[in-house]
Amino acid sequence: MKQITITGGNISFSCEDDDTVLRAALRAGLGFPYECNVGSCGNCRFELVEGEVEHERKDSPAYTERDVQRKRWLGCQAKPHSDCTVKVRLTDHYKPQILPVKTAGTLTEILDHTHDIREFRFTLSQPVMFLPGQYALLSVAGVEGARAYSMGNITTDGKEWHFQIKRVPNGACTGQLFDAMKVGETIGLDGPYGMAYLREDSPRDILCLAGGSGLSPMVSITRGMAASDKLKGRKLHFIYGGRAARDICGEPMLKELPGFGTDILYHPAISMPDPDNPDAWPGLTGFVHDIAAEMFGDKLKDMEIYFAGPPAMGDAVMKLIVEKKIPPAQVHFDQFY
């Protein structure tokens, strides 16, 4: 166990030898900035004033030569080898609502949603609560490094965590999960993490934008809205995008919810209709950000917006948010990498 002290305040916390500076800070209830937890976004940078650390993921994409020169490290990957003093700006925004915990999950069920999206359901050895829209780190045997996946369910007892996962061609973790993992087997789970959770105190209607792998957190947000007394009477629009008709899913899960068709409105869209058979898809065509702009225009400014999906979709939605001058406090996402 190492002791981490933050400069400029009277704050210190303990970090287990196999933990990272960011995750230990969050476990201690501190508002250490972060987003992806896998070394890709760089939001968790801190300056090492004293002590020794080592990155868990040696090739972290967000770690640059400039960081080396400035003695900066990535909190989500830095494991302390000694007691350390670090410089970082804590903010209340990142203070966890629920402290993340390391636990284990036993796979109980696998469901197919499309040709390449599958739901993996785990029962936890130690129940841990999470908020709709949050994610966890999954440590899967045979895969180097943990991967982030968002929970698709909601919970009142923390016993079940379900993940809707899109297979990535030649992906190390999705390959193991889809091809090797069997019901009854166990993985390491660590969470909950993430800032894109359902805001129950918002007075606005909700827009969920999801593409491909972004299904899970948006389904969780929608389930959370349907179960929330505080959000009764609010409308939620769910725009889900895929390339072709075979990529589209989600409606059966949302149909089960009270208010589907009246308060919860589902709008599936494909971006690459079959040119030889354009009538085969009678629904919306185009990218989710364009459809959102067309459907809501300037009304987007009055909505609470959640989004998740591949990085290209995330960038396009961010551009729309800037163009439409939507207040950043109304926009919630944890960029996927």
Ligand X SMILES: Cc1cc2nc3c(=O)[nH]c(=O)nc-3n(C[C@H](O)[C@H](O)[C@H](O)COP(=O)(O)OP(=O)(O)OC[C@H]3O[C@@H](n4cnc5c(N)ncnc54)[C@H](O)[C@@H]3O)c2cc1C
For ligand FES, the binding residues (CB under 6 A) are: 34-37, 39-44, 62, 74-76
Residue entry with tokens 């696998």? 110
Give which of ligand FES, ligand X, none residue 114 binds (C-beta under 5 to 8 Å, depending on kind): none
Give which of ligand X, ligand FES, none residue 25 binds (C-beta under 5 to 8 Å, depending on kind): none
| Nearest-approach distance from CB 62 to ligand FES, in angstroms | 4
| Nearest-approach distance from CB 158 to ligand FES, in angstroms | 24
What residues from 79 to 138 belong to the interface with ligand X (CB under 6 A)? 135
Give which of ligand X, ligand FES, none residue 135 binds (C-beta under 5 to 8 Å, depending on kind): ligand X
Count of residues of this chain found to bind ligand X when the rule CB under 6 A is applied:
25
| Nearest-approach distance from CB 27 to ligand FES, in angstroms | 15
3-state secondary structure of 121: strand
User: How far is Cα 306 from Cα 320, in angstroms, rounded to an integer?
Assistant: 13
Of the pair 40, 271, the CB lying nearest ligand FES is at 40
| Nearest-approach distance from CB 74 to ligand FES, in angstroms | 5
| Nearest-approach distance from CB 134 to ligand X, in angstroms | 9
Binding mask 144-183 for ligand X (x = CB under 6 A): xxxxxxx--------------xx-x--xxxx---------
Single residue of 24, 26, 36, 208 touching ligand X by CB under 6 A = 36
| Nearest-approach distance from CB 149 to ligand FES, in angstroms | 15
User: How far is Cα 105 from Cα 129, in angstroms, rounded to an integer?
Assistant: 14
Single residue of 2, 57, 113, 118 touching ligand X by CB under 6 A = 57
Residue 76 near residue 53, CB atoms below 8 Å: no
Give which of ligand FES, ligand X, none residue 122 binds (C-beta under 5 to 8 Å, depending on kind): none
**Going by C-beta distance under 8 Å and a sequence separation of 6 or more, which residues neighbour residue 241?**
209, 210, 211, 212, 268, 269, 270, 271, 287, 288, 291, 309, 313
Q: What is the identity of the amino acid at 236?
A: L
Give which of ligand FES, ligand X, none residue 216 binds (C-beta under 5 to 8 Å, depending on kind): ligand X
| Nearest-approach distance from CB 23 to ligand FES, in angstroms | 10
Single residue of 6, 15, 24, 38 touching ligand X by CB under 6 A = 38
* Residue (of 254, 265, 256) closest to 292 by Cα position: 265
Residue 150 near residue 133, CB atoms below 8 Å: yes
Of the pair 44, 209, the CB lying nearest ligand FES is at 44
User: How far is Cα 79 from Cα 121, in angstroms, rounded to an integer?
Assistant: 30
Give which of ligand X, ligand FES, none residue 166 binds (C-beta under 5 to 8 Å, depending on kind): ligand X
Residue 24 near residue 54, CB atoms below 8 Å: no
H-state helical runs in 213-300: 215-227, 251-255, 288-296
CA distances (Å), origin 44, targets 90, 135, 211, 220: 10, 17, 26, 26
The angle subtended at Cα 23 by Cα 19 and Cα 24, nearest 5°, is: 70
Neighbour-count burial for 24-34, b at 16+ CB within 10 Å, e otherwise: bbbbbebbbbb
What residues from 204 to 233 belong to the interface with ligand X (CB under 6 A)? 213, 216
Give which of ligand X, ligand FES, none residue 174 binds (C-beta under 5 to 8 Å, depending on kind): ligand X
User: How far is Cα 163 from Cα 71, in angstroms, rounded to an integer?
Assistant: 37
Give which of ligand X, ligand FES, none residue 57 binds (C-beta under 5 to 8 Å, depending on kind): ligand X
Binding residues for ligand X (CB under 6 A): 36, 38-40, 57, 135, 144-150, 165-166, 168, 171-174, 213, 216, 334, 336-337
